Amino acid sequence: MTIPGPSPADLVQAAQRSAYHLEMRDAYMRSDPWFQAWQNGQADEGQVDSEFVSGWLRITTPSEIALYAQAFRLLASQGVYGEAARALMRASLESLES
């Protein structure tokens, strides 16, 4: 199936602004051990839930979970957190106002 319109590469090339991804969860329960682990940057070692256009995929095969954990650690190391993230968002908002 082909989706009409510009290619992803064309869209990236035409972009005039950067985008920032703010990770959000459906619910934040401070006492939830899974939330506490996520908040501390730890991957879930028992399963991976991936959201796709057509629905959810739950991965439980240890070798595939390890691959997701490796990707998580790499992406988490490139993230911006805490005050640095807030400063980045403030600077982005200020650039839109000028």
Q: What is the pLDDT of residues 35-67, one digit of tens each?
A: 788 788 776 677 787 777 788 888 889 999 888
DSSP element (H, E) containing 59:
strand 55-59
Q: What is the pLDDT of residues 79-95, one digit of tens each?
A: 888 898 888 888 888 88
Q: Which residue has the tokens 């980045």?
A: 88
> Could you give the CA distance from residue 70 to residue 64 in angstroms, rounded to a whole number?
10
Q: What secondary structure does DSSP assign to 31-53, as a single string?
A: T-HHHHHHHTTPPPSS-EEEEET
